[in-house]
Amino acid sequence: MDRPLLSPRSALVLLLALLTGATASGLTAVAGEGAARSLLAGLAATGLAVPFFNRLIAAEDDTPRPPAPVGAGPAERDGHG
């Protein structure tokens, strides 16, 4: 059992989401809201940040793609043109 628990990409997505939630919670607390509202704002921001960072950070792709020619349309890049 020498595999890591999370892949580096998953760990980065979760770390960025937790940092986003902590920042939202801290800013809400500084704005004068109560502890409960600050916690809820942080949890909501964390929940929304996970899919955002999941899409933002590219998945690891093992197959390298050649660069598309300049001016090629989407059909030509995929080999359908």
Tell me the pLDDT of the chain averaged across its residues.
86
Q: Examine the pLDDT at 81 and tell me if it is beyond 60.
A: no
C-alpha distances (whole Å) from 63 to each of 31, 59, 60 are 48, 12, 9
Structure tokens given for 17: 């989401």
Put simply, whether the predicted model's pTM sits higher than 0.85 gets the answer no
Could you give phi then psi for residue 49, rounded to 5 degrees? -75, -30
What's the whole-number mean pLDDT along residues 23-45?
A: 96
What SS3 state is found at 49?
A: helix
